[in-house]
Structure formats: C-alpha cells, structure tokens
Structure 1
Amino acid sequence: MTSDSARFANGWLPALLAAPLLLLIVVFFYAPVVQAFYWSFFLEQPFGGGSQFVGFENFARVLADPEFWAATGRTLVFMVTASSLAVILPLVLAIAADRQIRLSVPARNILVWPKGVAGASIGVVFAFIFNPFVGVMAPLNAWFPGAWNPGLHGTDAFLTLIAAHVWSGIPFNFVILLAGLRAVPHTLYQAAALDGASPWRRIRDVQLPLIAPQLFLTLVLEFTESITSAFSLIDTITQGGPGGSTTLLVYKIYADGFRGYDLSGASTQTAILMVFVLILAGLQFGVLGRRIDYER
C-alpha cells in the first residue's frame, strides 16, 4: 500500500468485496427495471402462455386512460406538498436544535427514532391516530358529526397520507440539515450580530445560503422518495380510497398488475414513472444544482 493512495495487492479483491452488493442491486433493481421496459412492448398473458409484441400500443392505451392522468395529477400534488413539508419542518427543528434551546439535546435523539420504523407500521399507526371515532379527531366529530372521516372523505384521507409521509421523513432530513448548520462557523453569526442583523436576518442571509448543498440534497431525495415510497402508506391507511382519491401512480401500478392482472399496462406505467423520475432528477440537478456553491 503506497502513501498517496490505497492499492490492493490482488486486483480481484475489490471486485470480490463489491460482488455481493452489486449482485443485490442487479437482481432487485436493474433486472426488474429491464423486465418492466421489456413487458411494456408486449401483451403479456397474466397466467403465462406466451406474449405478443405490440410495439407502442400499450403506451397509447395507458396515455389515453383518464385514470392514469388522474393518478398522475394526485402524485404531483402529493409530491409537491408532502416533500416541501418534509423539508421545511426538519429545517425549523434543526435551526431550533442548533440554537440549543431548552430540551434541544433530548429532542435531537427523539426526532431520530422514527427512522427505525417501517413504512407499513407508520401507516398502521397513523390510521389509528386519525381514526374518526377513537383518534385525535374524535372530539371534532363529537362537536360536528362527520366533519372528519378519511374513510368517506377523499381530502381527509389525502391529508392523512401527507401527515404520515412528513412524519416519516423528518428524522433523515433533520440529521442532514442539523449537520449542515453545525458546520457553519459561529464567527459568521457573531459578525452578523455585531452588524445589527436580527435573528431572522441571520437565518436568511447566513445560515440558509451556507447549507444550500444540504437543502438541495434533502429536496432531491424527498421528491423522488415521495413518488415511490408512498405505496406502503397507501396500502395500510387507505388502500387507494375512498373512491380512488388516494390512488397515486405507484399504487395504481400495483393495483393494475396484481389485482387487475394487466401486466403489460402496469409495466408500461412503471416505465413512464421511471422516465419521469429521471427527468425530475435531471431538472433538479440542472436548474438548482448549478446555483449551489459547494466550496463555501
């Protein structure tokens, strides 16, 4: 091993060490993606029996489906609202913890705990918390019967999904943003305070510009995560209801493929969703990433 760089005596050792992880990635990510794109150009039989090449007919059928566009619209609304809140709330908490207000030390530990809870478990808990009869909204229904009922009102069910997603996203984003705030030299705050800057002015002009890389990271991860990880919450809280009001695109793919046995349609929607995620990530890096200074 040289002093300037780490080198392995055997060239095959790095490949051997990385092989298990690479195998898992290929088997559980790349292979399903390739299979989905392949099936999107074929008419697949649900119980075997061969397939028929149909070209772009599956795409034409999916793009002409009003339910597909309705699910896409709900996905975009969920992506913007849930992702924004899942970054703003941890940012507020991280700023409060960085200022070392009362109980900030135990709060930092408590806020990380939800990261160890599975998405399906979060869905079960929030389904109970927002239950119209025994949950936190039960007193509201006692005063105004029927005012809150996620089982009947689509807006209530959608808000429950947003609350569950935001709660599950707080731990990771909180840790990333707090680490960024702790890396900012306190001498900059002191200099701004000597210049007469108010606390809000210091947050806007000192802290936020200097943690722009961390904010960008959390935004990119949240926007992509909200599109794909909402499945477990939907399946445990609303099952896409009521009346399809919480059927996001990722859940519609599951329903079409595993309930409707439309393997070709589900694969086509998966291909469209993958392209959309890639375009979204590219736009974020192209528009926002260029404006971030990583050297400060």
Structure 2
Amino acid sequence: MTFEIIKQQFGELTEYVVQDTRNGNRFAVVPELGAVVRQLSLRKGLTLFSILKTPPTPDKLKEDTQSASELLFPFASRIPSGKYHFLGKDYQLHKNEKGGVNAIHGLVRKHHFSLQEQRIQPDNASIKLAYHLSQQEGYPFEVLFSVTYSLNLDGIFSLSYQAHNLGKDACPAMFGWHPYFDLGNEEVDAWKINIPSKTIVTFDDHMIPTGEAPFPHRGAFSLLRNELDNCFVVESEGNTAITELISDNQEVTLEIKQETGEGKFNYLVVYTPPSRDCVAIEPLTANVDAFNNGEGLNIIGPDQQIAGTITLKLR
C-alpha cells in the first residue's frame, strides 16, 4: 500500500507516524502531549522539507512553553487576568501565562488525547484523536474536542477539528493552531510572506486588542528586517484564504489554507521569533480575547458541533 501508519516510541512517549512510502511525505503525532504534530515533512521536487520547528527531544517537547505546533482550545492567545463574562455569568480561568497575569492558549495543551481512529485508504491516510473537556477551572462546560490529521497522494496535509457540546448549557469556544514553520536551512530574512488581509488588529502594551487599522502590505513582501507579532482579520476568496511563505532561493512556497466564513478561521496571527529561524503562522477562528470582545466567537448550543479545516502544501 502507498500509505502506512506506524506506532513507535519517542523516548518515553508514544507517537504515530503517518507516511507515504513513495516519496517520504510524513507526519508524526504525540497523543500524550496534546496530540501535537511533532514533525511534518513534505517533498518539493528532489527535496524533502521538514517544515515544522518543534523541540527536538522528548524532554524538551514536554517542557516547551512556546506552544510549538500545539492545539489551542477552547480559547487561543490571551484572556486578560483570565476573566470573562458569558451569558450573564462571570468566570475566572487559571492564569497560566508566564508571570501569572493572563490565561493563555486554552485547556488542552499537554493533555493526553485518546486515539479514536486510524484509517488507510488508496489516496490518503489519517488519524483521529480526542480529548474530553469536563468542568475545567473557569470553564464549567463539557465538550468533546477532536482533531483529525491526514495526508493525501498530492502531498497535502490537513488538520480538521471538531468540538461537540455534550453539556446542557451553551458554551463559548474558539480554536487555533500554533505551528512554527521552517523552510530549509535559511533564516527568516531570506523569505517573503503573503498575508491575506487588509486589516490588522491593534494591541495595547499587554497584547490585548484595542481596535483595527489598515494593513499596508499588498501581496508578498520581504521579511528582511521585518518583525511581526500581529493578529489579522482575514480577507477570503470564496470559502478559503491562503497565506504564502516563500523562499525564492529554494524555489519553494508553503501554502497555509484556512477555511473562512461563518464560524470558521477568519483570523490569523503571524509572529517572527527573536531567533529569526522560523515563522509562526496561526489560523484562528476568533480574535484575541474573543471570550470578552465576542469577535468571531463561536457559541455552541447543547448537542451542537463546530468544525473547520486547515491544509498545508508545498509548491
């Protein structure tokens, strides 16, 4: 068969590797650490690119505080002081950001996901994992959160999430993925980026939204001497939007496609770390602090579901 799924050890952790045996396209997922995608390799021509920047050892992956490639649910980014108001009630989340000021990046990171399904078909292979959120501090709702990762014959990697409200009350929810992308042995200054947006979210000194402003760049622009740590309101064509990370020297472009439209991925965070060796490109279903400002926030009714898909490919 073209595809195979291998269960193997990564130190004391267990990971599942899904790969295309023809060309080496592959990804590795660690269920015990929030179903994080630890490794993703995609081929362009003769070169197999390892496009995710993640901690290289099991211990460093466990200790990672930068949320590399992590799944962020039921909220992403910051909630100031961990406080929010929803349907007439006040809630207090655990303030887990460094310094103990804000709540950040949700409640499923580093938790042990259960394996729901492995599937190998002639044109793709996939793995589905889930985590049951129930009566968490500051989030007294019951939600089954699941993610399906897949790889197809055309070298397209996809991440599809689903959140099913199992409780009796409506609950707030947003989802984001937090990958850091790498293209070969180049630094950020060698790359260009094309961000599908005309509008940037303005932040205060604590990275909390204050409003919006025009985004001046149109089309691809160089990251040379450009530092980004911004949230964007996505402009879409049809029901998708595409961010491009471009290496002209290597003649390769990474496309990050996110579903858009009602309840989908209508926001995007882009961050260039001080190391300048990768770029975080993070599709979000809602704005930063959406639990308070409501911008893009999904409200899931009892026994209702939300879902969305992000895809990656090289060209």
- TM-score under structure 2 normalisation? 0.24
Greater CA radius of gyration, 1 or 2?
1
Which structure has the higher relative contact order (CA within 8 Å, separation 6+)? 1
- TM-score under structure 1 normalisation? 0.25
